[in-house]
Chains A and B, each alone.
Chain A
């Protein structure tokens, strides 16, 4: 029996909220260790070439300096690539290894590590390390590398390559009178979570406790064991709080490798906090050149889609994300050709950034759809409805659920889409041009095997645990809600634990799979704990529940009670009293239902509506309001779920209007590697955002959950760009839409 008013489905305040608002939540750079030393990484000043000479003498002589590591004197590390691929998010190629050798493969690459007694001494000495380079001309712009674009010979694990062509898109396009072909580009972006990437290694006589900013503690642990040959019993990764990541901290980053290298060498505790500029020397959302060609009949039905992308990657790895697949999926169309090529740049390998692939691909497709609607003189929403896909167009499977039509309807209603006048430049408010735009969003509803535990502890609390992460998504809270409901307990009596390798196994938190996967794992663990409790209750001497089965009892008010007779019960306290160590624990494993996945496609959908205001004369543009209507299955927590969508939308506003990583193409250096000149949206840029969760029943997992971390951003930039077109009649196909592009 569940709570009369279950926690699941409520707008439950975050259980970790009080810790976060009082500054007591500890992030990776905030664990203190005795006798700890501080490290600082020295960044390469060239983007491509080799180190000729390192003169560390001045740095060595600086106050407080303990050690300076370079490729010349670092401890031995494995030569081959394989140990470094003990990274569950690795991509084809040879992973970057700090201090590997004299080669420089991107600007800002760490070429030395200074370790000193204080943070200030390490920072100061790092500036005294003199490095001489032999420099080659770098390529950092995907446009400059497009001629050498190639299809990746090895596909990235877990990322579906573009599906094979269906029908004949080229011939259909050629024979069509209603058609368009355009190139779209989105500027390179960096994740820029607020927390700096950091690792604190607590060294205790050869045993390591590593506090590393990560989206999944098991990934750095596996990596460290593989790379440094550590005994898994001698290293734990403990990272209970993550100050935003958005994909950046999925893979082991060089702060981890360097901090542990230094700790093992010095046999001391070490802290390494990267600088904001160094946050631009790792993963990023790749710059892409996308071509979309669409044709349609007079009835507005799509007759062909061609979507090809040239996506940036590094010289040393073939990073891939699913950029074009969406164009084969979201609309009903018989002739589709999709292509994905890579172009090598002298930059770090790009990495997953909030809705990788979908964000870029659907910007292009949904802008092209708006262009098609304009050509057809058809309402953009009507065009989507006429091409609505009732099943997965890529593989023909039915959807496990798809309430996108309801999202379109409810979103349009809330937004007031019917008030949109069809012609561009036809809506004004005083001096400003007003524009309404919309777009569709889509993201795969994924799940991964997760373990979880549930325990009654000596103090009578319920403790649930899973080795996943809470990167701000609300994992602590939803796990607590699920557990509280399972035991009809007040949520205040539940403790949720994540972010620790001593907890049951979980992969990284990414792809929006954590809620469905960890949530169901905890649900199963709670069920297993109930069974264990009933078993123990039956086994008590003179047990009143001696013949009871799990089906015949309820769990509430700290007791197991017979359904048929409320006076017959056993208290948790009695069971705990009899239990060894005063703790009763059960474990469970959740795995996605393979048969279900064989039969159904599962996706999250959204309809995004945006209103922009444009001061055409001055090129000033802002987003007045956004309505995001999301179909994502069952909503576990209406507050944290809404926040996920808000966050995605805000990042979408940044993508549409502000964000752009700028390289000096001659030097291969990023010129705006800071938060002053790389503009993420500020308070003033964000006005009204309305989130709707449409009713959607899904059976892919018992909780009916699909995941929300990515969907908020998908389609947001296209909706804004389409609104700018509606306001001004100008189509900006290269994001961000900055003042100069509107003048």
Chain B
């Protein structure tokens, strides 16, 4: 871990100014990813601005019936919040599918959005990586690719976004509130993370110095018709090979609104509005879900070792939509997939 200076911010504006004015400065909150990356020498901040004492840890109801979650609300508090469990069980479930109880106690809502990829090569500073060192090349392409992207990858980067929470946020169409040197703005979750293109060093659309202050959830929908289904190499405490956040609104017998976001397959939580639109009005059935999955994965391309993810994702989508339509969501402590 490199040497850095430390600043404990006493206000959001102070924190924003401190980071904005120093290209080598980073915000730190839960530290569960940043400190880890610093130990690997992947992140070498010159200054850490500690935002943990800022008053951003409330979960408040919004005027239009949603929830506004402070950026510093720990993942576990969010997952176990009574309102979240009642109105946004998909979010609760996704959070509880991720990491471990200890990590969820420390990790924050804002920090979870800013998790960096678990690509082996990103973590190994002895190897080239365009995300870590722009222009150095991508070691993953042609290498060990079991955990890599099948959608939206580029010739520069095939990394995936590792978050579970963000996959649920994508399905729920959350909005990210940020404060920056130029003021406040909101970013729809779909526009928050980005695809790697030829600038994979940039994970998201934040400007340097912009700080996530809250995540806002629109008014609850979907009732019990949701699920978070995560498939991985051991039954807990592992990143997703493929995960599915699914939510369905039934209009009588047919599907009204449907949302499906995929995790573990792309540089950002993956959704396809066209595919979702095409499912509207269909009777919920395995074949309709399979058609939907085919459409959603139509552009998918494996890297060799991860080719299986395409088929796995399709099957998982069908199963997850079945769970959501039936109103029998996956419970994370239960390993049987209903």
Q: Do chains A and B touch in the complex (CB under 8 A)?
A: yes
- List 5 tightest A-B contacts by C-beta distance, closest first: A45-B126, A684-B236, A671-B120, A740-B308, A684-B235
Query: Using an 8 Å CB-CB cutoff, how does the interface string of A92-124 with B read, 1 for contact, 0 for none?
Result: 000000000000000000000000000010011
One of B9-17, B141-149, B210-218, B272-280 at the interface: B141-149
Asked whether A682 lies within 8 Å of B1 as measured between CB atoms, the reply is: no
**Contacting residues of chain A (718-743) with chain B, CB-CB under 8 angstroms:** 738-740, 743
Do B337 and A671 touch (CB < 8 A)?
Answer: no
Contact partner of A739 (CB less than 8 A), chosen from B3, B231, B333, B336, is B231
Of the residues A123, A619, A657, A667, contact of B139 by C-beta under 8 Å = A667
Which residues of chain B (223-238) have a CB below 8 Å from chain A? 231, 233-238
- Give the Cβ gap from A659 to chain B, nearest Cβ, in Å: 10
B306-323: CB near A (< 8 Å → 1, else 0) gives: 001001100110010000
Interface readout for A595-623 with B: 1 if CB under 8 Å, 0 if not?
00000000000000000010101111010
Partner of B144, one of A127, A657, A671, A684: A671
**A679 at the binding interface (Cβ < 8 Å):** yes
Contact with A along B1-45 (1 / 0, CB 8 A): 111000000000000000000000000000000000000010000
Contact A740 B312 (CB under 8 A): yes
Residue on A with the closest CB to B100?
Answer: A682
> Contact size class for B?
35 or more
| CB pair B124 A432 closer than 8 Å | no
Asked if A124 and B1 sit within 8 Å, CB to CB, the answer is: yes
Residue contacts A-B, CB under 8 angstroms, 27 given: A123-B1, A127-B41, A615-B337, A619-B231, A620-B335, A620-B337, A622-B335, A658-B233, A664-B127, A666-B143, A667-B143, A671-B120, A671-B143, A671-B144, A676-B239, A677-B118, A681-B234, A684-B235, A684-B236, A684-B333, A685-B234, A738-B233, A739-B231, A739-B308, A740-B308, A743-B311, A743-B312
Rounded to whole Å, the gap between the CB of B289 and the closest CB of chain A is 12
Q: Which residue of A lies closest to B305 (CB)?
A: A740
Chain B residues whose CB sits within 8 angstroms of the CB of A681 once the complex forms: 234
CA distance A683 to B333 in the complex (A): 11
Q: Which residues of A contact B120 (CB under 8 A)?
A: 664, 671-672, 677
CB-CB under 8 A for A669 and B127, given A619-B312, A740-B308: yes
| A5 beta carbon closer than 8 Å to chain B | no
Does the CB pair A684–B234 fall under 8 Å? yes
The answer to whether B236 and A618 have CB atoms under 8 Å apart is no
Interfacial residues, chain B to chain A (CB-CB below 8 A):
1-3, 41, 118, 120-121, 124, 126-127, 139, 142-144, 146-147, 231, 233-239, 241, 308, 311-312, 315-316, 319, 333, 335-338
Tell whether, in the assembled complex, residue B335 and residue A684 are in contact, meaning their CB atoms are under 8 Å apart: yes
Closest chain A residue to B238, Cβ basis? A679
> A88 on the interface (CB 8 Å rule)?
no
Residues of A within 8 A of B338 (CB): 431
**Bound CA span A410–B147, Å:** 43
With contact pairs A124-B1, A667-B139, A677-B120 given, residues A658 and B234 touching in the complex (Cβ less than 8 Å): yes
Chain A window 15-54, contacts with chain B (Cβ cutoff 8 Å), 1 for yes, 0 for no: 0000000000000000000000000000001000000000
Give the residues in chain A near B319, CB-CB below 8 Å: 617-618
Give, as a whole number of angstroms, the nearest-CB distance from A740 to chain B. 4
Q: Which of B121, B233, B336 is packed against the most chain A CB atoms within 10 Å?
A: B233
Contact A124 B2 (CB under 8 A): yes
Q: Measuring CB to CB, which residues of chain A are less than 8 angstroms from any residue of chain B? A: 45, 63, 120, 123-124, 127, 430-432, 613, 615, 617-620, 622, 657-658, 662-664, 666-667, 669, 671-672, 676-677, 679, 681-685, 738-740, 743
With A and B bound together, what is the CA distance between A671 and B316 in angstroms? 27
A740 to B235, CA, bound (A): 15
How far, in whole Å, are A669 and B128 apart by their CA atoms in the complex?
13
Chain B residue at minimal CB-CB distance from A687 = B335
Q: A620-B335, A669-B124, A669-B126 are in contact. Are A685 and B235 (CB under 8 A)?
A: yes
Q: In the complex, what's the smallest C-beta–C-beta distance from B217 to chain A, in angstroms?
A: 29
* Whole-angstrom CA separation of A75 from B247 in the bound complex: 67
**B-chain residues with CB within 8 Å of residue A685 when the two chains form the complex:** 234-236
Q: How far is the CA of A357 from the CA of B252 in the complex (A)?
A: 62
Known: A618-B316, A669-B124, A684-B335. 13 other contacts (CB 8 A): A127-B41, A430-B336, A657-B234, A666-B142, A667-B143, A671-B121, A671-B144, A672-B120, A676-B118, A677-B120, A684-B235, A743-B308, A743-B315
B234:A682 contact, CB within 8 angstroms: yes
Rounded to whole Å, the gap between the CB of B147 and the closest CB of chain A is 8
- Closest residue of chain B to A653 (Cβ to Cβ) is B234
Q: How far is the CA of A742 from the CA of B177 in the complex (A)?
A: 43
CA distance A120 to B127 in the complex (A): 24
Q: How far is the CA of A669 from the CA of B233 in the complex (A)?
A: 21
Closest to A663 in B: B144
Chain A hits for B236, CB < 8 A:
682-685
A684 and B237 form a contact (CB under 8 A): yes
Q: What is the distance, in angstroms, from A209's C-beta to the closest C-beta of chain B?
A: 30
Chain B residues in 8 Å Cβ range of A619: 231, 312
* A664: chain B residues within 8 A (beta carbon): 120, 127, 139, 143-144
Cα A684 to Cα B227 in complex, Å, equals 20
- Asked whether, in the complex, the Cβ of B127 is within 8 Å of the Cβ of A667, the reply is yes
Residues in B with CB closer than 8 Å to A738 are 233
Partner of B233, one of A63, A432, A663, A739: A739
Given A618-B312, A684-B236, check contact A124 B3 (CB 8 Å): yes
B146 in complex: contacting residue of A127, A613, A658, A662, CB < 8 Å? A662
Residues of chain B within 8 A of A667, CB atoms compared: 127, 139, 143
Q: Which residue of B lies closest to A45 (CB)?
A: B126
A666: B residues at CB distance < 8 A: 142-143
Question: Roughly how many angstroms separate A657 CA and B120 CA in the complex, as a whole number?
Answer: 21
Report the minimum CB–CB distance from B310 to chain A (whole Å).
Answer: 10
In the complex the two chains form, is A618's CB within 8 Å of B337's CB? yes
Contact A620 B233 (CB under 8 A): no
Report the separation of the CA atoms of residues A662 and B316 in the bound assembly, to the nearest whole angstrom: 26
Which one of B237, B335, B337 lies within 8 Å of A431 (CB-CB)? B337
Chain B residues whose CB sits within 8 angstroms of the CB of A430 once the complex forms: 336
Whether the pair B234, A613 counts as a contact (CB closer than 8 A) is no
Assembled-state Cα–Cα distance A430/B335 (Å) = 14
Cα A640 to Cα B90 in complex, Å, equals: 43
Residue among B41, B142, B144, B311 facing the most chain A CB atoms (10 A cut-off): B144
Which chain B residue shows the least CB distance to A679? B234
Q: How far is the CB of B149 from chain A (nearest CB, A)?
A: 16
User: How far in angstroms is the closest Cβ of chain B from A83?
Assistant: 32
List the B side residues contacting A613 at CB < 8 Å: 336
Q: Which of B124, B139, B146, B235 contacts A622 (CB 8 A)?
A: B235
Q: How far is the CA of A684 from the CA of B238 in the complex (A)?
A: 11
Minimum CB distance partner of B336 in chain A: A432
Q: Which residues of A have CB within 8 Å of B312?
A: 618-619, 739-740, 743
How far, in Å, is A273 (CB) from chain B's closest CB?
13
Bound form: Cα–Cα A123–B3 in Å: 11
Query: Chain A residues near B126 (CB, 8 Å)?
Result: 45, 669
